[in-house]
Every structure is written in structure tokens, then in C-alpha cells.
């Protein structure tokens, strides 16, 4: 019988894991998706509230995948936490594609698109270089 008592004590305790998702400036990321797998069990998806927070009862270890629009997904594992302790996770901005593909055919009209560095106003341009001008 002592063996049964010892084996039941060896089972990891279920504790509430609290996750707070923030950006690099410390601002909350509301509606972030937190996928969590507790103690090797099934995966559960949570949605952070307006403060970027979510919580669930979980046995260690907790494998987390956190994602939000405009941010790179983050994978992490939390092996130990105390009831009421918040795990703060910082997401980094997603990589932004910094190139634009422009296809111009003879007598084509390309609408004006303004941005920080380029303005395109092409009507009948023969090449992409003819279509791109620096803003004045």
C-alpha cells in the first residue's frame, strides 16, 4: 500500500496557469490566441481578454504557442509555476514584406498609391521604372 501512496504524490498538481501577452513596449495584446498543451494532454485554445490575459487549470509542463495578427508566433514551455503566478510573454512584430510587385502593360493605368517612400502614378508607362516617382 505505501507504493500507491508514493505514486499518487508523484503526480503533478493541477495549478491555474495565468498568461499575459504583451508587445515589446509592454502594452497588452488583446484577443491573442494561446494554444496550450498541459502535461502532455490534449491541446486547448484560449483567447486573451482585453488585458491580454487568459488562464486555465494545467499540470506541468505547459507547452504554449501564442499568436496574434501582426506579431510573430512564439513557442515556449513553462515547466514550473505557482498558483496565482502570471507568465508574461512578449510577442515581437511580424516580418513585413518590404517589396512590391508591379506589372505594367502598354496603355495600362495604375492607380495612385502613396506611402512613406514611393508614389506611383502611371498612365501608359512602358516600364516599372517609368511608373515609379519619388514624392515631391
CA dihedral for 26, 29, 33, 38, sign (positive or negative): positive
pLDDT, position 45: 95
Question: What is the average per-residue pLDDT within 89-104?
Answer: 76
Asked if the model's pLDDT at residue 117 lies above 70, the reply is: no
What is the predicted pLDDT for the residue at 98?
Answer: 59
- Residue span(s) of the chain under CATH 2.60.40.10 come to 14-90
Q: For all residues of the chain together, what is the average pLDDT?
A: 76
Q: Where are the beta strands (DSSP E) in 24-115?
A: 33-38, 43-47, 53-58, 62-67, 74-78, 86-90, 109-114
Average pLDDT (45-52) is 96
Q: Kindly give, in sequence order, each residue whose CB lies less than 8 Å from that of residue 11, ignoring residues fewer than 6 positions away.
A: 59
Q: Give mean pLDDT, residues 12-24.
A: 90
**Architecture in CATH of 14-90:** Sandwich (2.60)
For residue 105, the model assigns a pLDDT of: 65
Global pTM reads 0.62
Amino acid at each position: 500500500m505505501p507504493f500507491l501512496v508514493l505514486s499518487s504524490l508523484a503526480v503533478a498538481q493541477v495549478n491555474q496557469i495565468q498568461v499575459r501577452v504583451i508587445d515589446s513596449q509592454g502594452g497588452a495584446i488583446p484577443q491573442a490566441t494561446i494554444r496550450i498543451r498541459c502535461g502532455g494532454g490534449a491541446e486547448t485554445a484560449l483567447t486573451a481578454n482585453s488585458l491580454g490575459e487568459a488562464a486555465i487549470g494545467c499540470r506541468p509542463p505547459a507547452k504554449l504557442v501564442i499568436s496574434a495578427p501582426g506579431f510573430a508566433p512564439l513557442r515556449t514551455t513553462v515547466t514550473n509555476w505557482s498558483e496565482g503566478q502570471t507568465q508574461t510573454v512578449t510577442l515581437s512584430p511580424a516580418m513585413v514584406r518590404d517589396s512590391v510587385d508591379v506589372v505594367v502593360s502598354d496603355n495600362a493605368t495604375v492607380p495612385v498609391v502613396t506611402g512613406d517612400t514611393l508614389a506611383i502614378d502611371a498612365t501608359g508607362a512602358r516600364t516599372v521604372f517609368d511608373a515609379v516617382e519619388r514624392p515631391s
